[in-house]
């Protein structure tokens, strides 16, 4: 079913889906547990359980209750920090879920209704997710620290031998718009390649061919190049030129004008920083929640 993907899609809002306890509680609802003074009722648990069933979540009533307790704690902390979520933010999140599921908002609401789930149940959950995101940004993110040494060591471990080079390159293109006539242009490129004697004569040699251009690519580190190209260049010396490759505009070759040994971690390090930052942030948010839950006043009725 389409709702088998609902938890995954809505989970992308931040660290997981959550449900606020701010919804109006029917007068006949019975309070099952009170969290920091906020009641969690049997109606809320039943609604969450129905949503779980739509999503394929099989943790049952216990899972629904525990999730609601966690979310009540999250909402309590958001309130303590003065973090509020507007209805417009919630509506936008609801719309985004509908778009991700390739549904209209009305159709999403109808599918929820057919399964006995009020759309406000999902909206309340989104409200809490947004609020908890605000808590993390305000109370956790400023304390996230990443060791530059650890980043350097991790990044260095991801650099292969063929990526430890810095180049100054020229690109030789035999124009074939849209790839039309690429085979013939490849044959010409190979003839050019066989006569190539270095970057200084690259332009002069291109004048012997129709619609051939020489472009100064400039300085590039191997990590900025496609892996296959970087591997080919690593096995060549200055004055070498790569085999022809068909691209959108025609047939391309790269010529090495300068080549030096240079371990540049910049690009790999940026990727590592994002990964480590996310992992560190997740751990600290989990620790923050564990502390809140430990200190929460939870009373089962």
| Complete DSSP assignment for 23-76 | SPPPTTPPEEEEETTEEEEHHHHHHHHHHHHHHT---HHHHHHHHHHHHHHHHH
Radius of gyration of the chain (CA): 29
- Asked whether residue 10 falls in the same domain as residue 107, the answer is yes
- Asked whether residue 16 falls in the same domain as residue 77, the answer is yes
Looking at residue 156, what is its pLDDT?
Answer: 67
Looking at residue 264, what is its pLDDT?
Answer: 65
- What distance in Å separates the CA atoms of residue 281 and residue 144, rounded to the nearest whole number? 6
- Asked whether residue 130 falls in the same domain as residue 230, the answer is no
- What distance in Å separates the CA atoms of residue 147 and residue 276, rounded to the nearest whole number? 10
| DSSP for residue 296 | S
Q: Is residue 268 part of a domain?
A: no
Looking at residue 15, what is its pLDDT?
Answer: 37
**CATH number, domain with residue 75:** 1.10.4030.10
- Which residue range is the domain that position 84 belongs to? 2-144+278-300
Looking at residue 181, what is its pLDDT?
Answer: 72
The 10 Å CB-count burial string (b at 16+, else e) for 173-184 is bbebeeeebbee
Q: At what angle do helices 60-80 and 42-55 cross, to 10 degrees?
A: 110
| DSSP for residue 297 | -
Q: Is residue 138 part of a domain?
A: yes
- Asked whether residue 205 falls in the same domain as residue 107, the answer is no
**CATH number, domain with residue 226:** 3.10.50.40
Per-residue pLDDT tens digits of the chain, which is 301 residues long: 444 455 554 554 443 333 233 333 445 789 999 999 999 999 999 999 999 999 999 999 999 999 999 999 999 999 999 999 999 999 999 999 999 999 999 999 999 999 999 999 999 899 999 999 999 989 988 877 766 676 766 666 667 778 888 899 999 999 987 666 778 899 999 999 999 999 999 999 999 999 999 999 999 988 889 989 999 999 999 999 999 999 888 999 999 999 998 766 676 766 676 666 677 778 889 999 999 999 999 999 8
Looking at residue 205, what is its pLDDT?
Answer: 95
In the structure encoding, which two tokens stand for residue 174, read together?
């035999």
In the structure encoding, which two tokens stand for residue 71, read together?
């979310």
Name the domain count of the chain: 2
Q: Is residue 272 part of a domain?
A: no
Looking at residue 213, what is its pLDDT?
Answer: 94
Looking at residue 177, what is its pLDDT?
Answer: 73
- Asked whether residue 80 falls in the same domain as residue 107, the answer is yes
With vertex at residue 76, the alpha carbon angle to CA 70 and CA 82, rounded to the nearest 5 degrees, is 140
Q: Is residue 271 part of a domain?
A: no
Helix (H, G, I), strand (E, B) or coil at 280: helix
The 10 Å CB-count burial string (b at 16+, else e) for 257-296 is bebeeeebbeebbeebeeebeeebbeebbeebbeebeeee
- What distance in Å separates the CA atoms of residue 50 and residue 53, rounded to the nearest whole number? 5
- Asked whether residue 134 falls in the same domain as residue 165, the answer is no
- Asked whether residue 117 falls in the same domain as residue 16, the answer is yes
Backbone angles phi, psi at 57, to 5 degrees: -80, 120
- Asked whether residue 62 falls in the same domain as residue 172, the answer is no
- Asked whether residue 30 falls in the same domain as residue 130, the answer is yes
- Asked whether residue 11 falls in the same domain as residue 112, the answer is yes
Q: Is residue 190 part of a domain?
A: yes
Looking at residue 160, what is its pLDDT?
Answer: 74
């Amino acid at each position: 079913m389409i709702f088998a993907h609902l938890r995954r899609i809505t989970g992308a809002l931040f660290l997981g889906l959550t449900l606020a306890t701010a919804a109006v509680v029917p007068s006949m609802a019975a309070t099952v547990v009170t969290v920091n003074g906020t009641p969690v009722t049997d109606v809320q648990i039943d609604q969450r359980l129905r949503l779980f069933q739509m999503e394929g979540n099989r943790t049952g009533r216990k899972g629904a209750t525990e999730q609601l307790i966690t979310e009540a704690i999250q909402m309590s902390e958001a309130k303590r920090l003065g973090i509020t979520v507007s209805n417009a933010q919630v509506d936008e999140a609801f719309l985004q879920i509908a778009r991700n599921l390739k549904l209209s908002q009305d159709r999403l609401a109808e599918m929820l209704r057919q399964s006995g789930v009020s759309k406000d149940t999902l909206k309340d959950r989104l409200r809490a997710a947004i609020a908890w995101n605000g808590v993390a940004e305000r109370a956790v993110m400023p304390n996230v620290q990443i060791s530059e040494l650890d980043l350097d060591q991790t990044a260095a471990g991801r650099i292969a031998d063929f990526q430890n080079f810095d180049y100054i390159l020229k690109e030789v293109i035999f124009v074939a718009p849209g790839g039309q006539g690429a085979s013939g242009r490849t044959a010409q490129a190979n003839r050019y390649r066989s006569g190539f004697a270095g970057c200084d004569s690259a332009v002069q040699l291109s004048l012997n061919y129709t619609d051939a251009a020489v472009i100064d690519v400039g300085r590039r580190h191997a990590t900025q190049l496609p892996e296959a190209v970087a591997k080919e260049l690593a096995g060549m010396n200055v004055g070498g030129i790569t085999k022809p490759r068909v691209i959108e505009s025609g047939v391309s070759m790269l010529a090495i004008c300068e080549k030096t040994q240079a371990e540049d971690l910049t690009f790999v390090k940026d990727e590592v920083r994002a990964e480590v930052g996310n992992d560190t942030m997740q751990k600290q948010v989990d620790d923050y929640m564990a502390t809140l839950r430990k200190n929460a006043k939870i009373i089962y009725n």
